[in-house]
A and B are shown apart, each in its own frame.
Chain A
Amino acid sequence: MDLQNNIRNFCIIAHIDHGKSTLADRILEKTGVLTAREMEEQVLDNMDIERERGITIKAQSVRLNYKASDGIDYVFNLIDTPGHVDFNYEVSRSLAACEGAVLVVDASQGVEAQTLANVYQAIDHDLEVVPVINKIDLPSSRPDVVKEEIENVIGIPAMDAPLVSAKVGIGIEDVLEAIVKNVPCPKGDPDGPLKALIFDSYYDAYRGVVIYVRIKDGSVRKGDSIKLMATGAEYQITELGYLKPGFKVPSDALYAGEVGYIAASIKNIQDARVGDTVTMAQGGASEPLPGYKEVQPMVFCGMYPVDGGDYEALRDALGKLQLNDAALKFEPETSQALGFGFRCGFLGLLHFEIVQERLSREYEIDLIATTPSVIYHIHKMNGEVVVLDNPTNMPNPAEIDFMEEPMVKASVMTPAEYVGNIMELTNERRGTFLNMDYIETDRVVLTYEIPLNEVIYDYFDSLKSRTRGYASLDYELCGYKKSSLVKLDIYLNGEIVDALSFIVHTDKAYARGRKIAEKLKDTIPRQQFEVPIQAMIGGKVIARETIRAYRKDVLAKCYGGDITRKKKLLEKQKEGKKRMRQFGSVEVPQEAFLSVLKLG
């Protein structure tokens, strides 16, 4: 009887740019959810930022109906996943809601670093991987080679993999049939106590927090009282149903194996944690589903509103973003230089940039962000270990026995000709070479251990530019290592600017300090008095620049019609001054912070 036999829950995984979103769109079109004319390109990438950057950040989910060649009507739940290494956790929780994963591999590019990382993650979640070779319409495509590569490198059968061009619309039917045939149906207990995995959530002004769930066991109805197991909070369901692209279809109940949404007037966004298990308030499951883990941010920085009056708005906005972004962490902090703000935790720099962009676009808040930092472990002489994510709180060096920094194991996949460039770059970044494997005669995987601190700045960008875009990167945290680190402080006019302090490896301190001092000299406008910029370690000045005083600020001429024009000029200058931060008596524009931040 089991309804579950006709359900297929799957996601699509791919290296960035291998055509995941395009394939998803084709599947939507083919299953009649959307006609070609209704299709807005890449329906699943909703956010402007996602479209502009061509990446998926937020997992989306849709229910589709497909009549297969065996004559049976199937229900497909497609759960889209993010594609950037920063968003691995989002990938993982989406995978947990599926039984299978369609692996899209570009017929010209072949297997890439993230392809591997994603596949291993899918296999960790016991998913059946269904390979698909995409972009076969391109003249450079070599599907047979790529199939072999998949078999050799990943170790899954690929000879029958559908050959597809998502762009042109070739082979989509084959993909759907392969899903029916190869993705197992859900095998939950329809009569057991309710267990539903929250794999996403968002805030809706009318419904409260709306959660996206995969029902593993049991069933749930409108009006049921549910419990969110991590916090124990209980709510009554006001609405539930299925997800279609861009809209929701309410229904009476959701059953084992199904994917849908639940609204229960959840007001507290902290209650609906992604990865948590939903069960019944009365007679619910005793054990939650496995796999829920608190996401650990790896990069921290302070975020401050440019206009102090926006502090509450910033708190609000961060709260709302956090609801859809389990990885974003924040807590209040104050800076002498920047006033009231928040210490925020991110998965990586891309994540940080996206949050910053969303805050300014969606919430129109102007921000100043401090230099990003990883989490250091500081072992003090007295045996105490300090976990440090804010350089400002660094203990006195005299009290420090030694320090440790987080390390990542990074795999870089590249055409063999760029190996030299990558080695050079990675050496500059204090990387330790671990291994080199040939995937094909002219493609290799380099494995390195690199301090995370070195990776989070612009390692990925540098990698791309030194390999003409061919190299791909994946990394995972692999523990802490003892390292020779110092705190570098920036002084303006003799006063420390706490927001610009950061921790750096001893060997790089001098160069970094000098670069920052130079950059500040370029970006801080001349003041009425001379302003020394000093980069210091402990009490020692390692770099110094001076911003010369300006000698005049006067409109020499002002006649007749000029009054309107000159007034506008003065108004503009005044507006510019408002956007500056006052450090002691020095005025520093926001751009100065950003330019230092971008230095890496």
Chain B
Amino acid sequence: MTLMEKFNGGTAGIYVHVPFCVKKCRYCDFVSCPADAGTKKRYVDALLAEIVMRSDKTVPCDTVFIGGGTPSVLEIEDLKRIGAALRNHFDITNDAEITVEANPESLTPEKAAAMREFGANRISIGFQSLAPRALGVLGRVHTKKRALEACNNAVKAGFDNVNIDLMLGLPGEPEGEFECSLREVIALSPAHISVYSLILEEGTPLEKDISEGLVPEPDEDRDRADYHLAARLLREAGYDRYEISNFAKPGRRSRHNLRYWEQKMYFGFGPAAASYIGDRRFTNTCDIGLYVDKGGDAELSEDDTLSLDETMREFMMLGFRLAEGPDFREFERRFGTSPMALYGDRLDELERKGLIGRKNDAARPYALTEKGLDFANIVFREFV
């Protein structure tokens, strides 16, 4: 077995980071900023240079994800150039899942059409909320009306595989606010819905306001109540929770994101993008200016070679994010040893604490319990 197969299976994914937005949201700590057309063009030049430089046709790529930032702010022309470069320099399979992220304010019918032309067959739209109060707190630039229009634009352009992102646990969120957004989203019947708690990242304007007492702290009780409500409503609507924060209709799981949790290979292009190849995981520079200046060849911000032990523990940690739990058979196939032999004591202890439970499934004998979903970090920490 090659190193690549041992560490991350036989196919690869591609992630492309688009570090631009109409306006930076108040909670966001991703590498992104507003930019003019010239900046975007120079950025795409650098991105193409990186893609050419790292050209690799030895591995079939069956997922592509254009994320951000907000890829929908790219000019149609630039989007086309990225698509062409990827196809020229990587072996993108015919059945590849190709996702583009979009925010409502920039997802016009023209953009949606251009994305289809680019080859995208999946679109992920960042609603976050449909409540005006919540959109204000988060510093989102769109309105509820705009969000619904954007979704409609996507569907009209031919996207049948749509994801919608929603946030819960927002500061000052009254009972029912999240539920209202969620019900409206369910009514749109997208293929996939992500529901995740707001994470207050240090240094963001929202975090600063909260630490200064200008904005109330998110209420954990509200957060959990809404999370459990979401799980129930989505199950009733035919969505399957396959990961802590991800729900999909049958056959519509995000293949690209599953790749991360199943510890498979990926190439990452653009600033702050991570790549995982063989036993090496590295992250590009987070400095957009430097990335552009160096023509996509700036010094890496992270570069780790993972030991076998680290890789195995990470496999478990990521696997426990999945509702079905880590795949013990795949573990044995890759590493030639069983998680039971290595982590039996830890698994017993976590089971005793009620965080994970046993299932009647030889390949995936353990998964997070309902309680474990709320306290998953305790499980993860056992494996870091």
Residues of chain A touching chain B, judged by Cβ–Cβ distance below 8 Å, are: 528, 550-564, 567, 570-571, 573-574, 577
Contacts and interface: CB of A to CB of B under 8 A. Distances in A.
Contacts of A561: 15, 268, 272-274, 283
A563 B15 CA distance: 14
A528 B371 CA distance: 11
Contact of A550 (B220, B276, B317): B220
B28 to A, nearest CB: 12
B36 interface: no
Contacts of A557: 196, 199, 245
A555 B381 contact: no
A260 to B, nearest CB: 58
B281 interface: yes
A563 B383 CA distance: 13
B343 interface: no
Contacts of B268: 560-561
Given A573-B381, A574-B384, A554 B199 contact: no
B220 A552 contact: yes
A556 B198 CA distance: 8
A570 B375 contact: no
Contacts of B221: 551
A526 to B, nearest CB: 9
Contacts of A560: 15, 260, 266, 268, 273-274
Contact of B245 (A528, A556, A564, A571): A556
A443 B134 CA distance: 64
Contact of B381 (A550, A559, A563, A577): A577
A462 B378 CA distance: 44
Given A553-B378, A559-B257, 12 more contacts: A528-B375, A550-B220, A551-B223, A551-B374, A552-B374, A557-B199, A561-B15, A561-B268, A561-B272, A563-B276, A567-B314, A573-B377
Contact of A570 (B273, B283, B374, B377): B377
B380 A571 contact: no
A556 B196 contact: yes
Given A550-B220, A561-B283, A555 B257 contact: no
9 closest A-B pairs (Cβ-Cβ)? A561-B274, A556-B196, A551-B220, A556-B197, A554-B376, A553-B377, A570-B384, A552-B374, A551-B224
A563 B318 contact: yes
Residue with the highest number of chain B CB atoms closer than 10 Å, among A561, A562, A563: A561
A181 B302 CA distance: 72
A557 B67 CA distance: 14
A561 B13 CA distance: 13
Contacts of B274: 560-564
B228 to A, nearest CB: 11
B223 A558 contact: no
Residue with the highest number of chain B CB atoms closer than 10 Å, among A554, A557, A577: A554
Contacts of B257: 559
A559 B256 CA distance: 10
B377 A555 contact: yes
Contacts of A528: 375
B373 interface: yes
14 contacts: A551-B221, A551-B224, A554-B376, A558-B261, A558-B318, A560-B266, A561-B268, A561-B272, A561-B283, A564-B304, A570-B381, A570-B384, A571-B384, A574-B381
Nearest to B194: A557
B40 interface: no
Contacts of B321: 558
A552 B376 CA distance: 8
B132 to A, nearest CB: 23
Contacts of A564: 274, 281, 283, 302, 304
Contacts of B244: 554, 556
Contacts of B374: 551-554
A554 B168 CA distance: 13
Contact of B373 (A554, A558, A577): A554
A574 B376 CA distance: 13
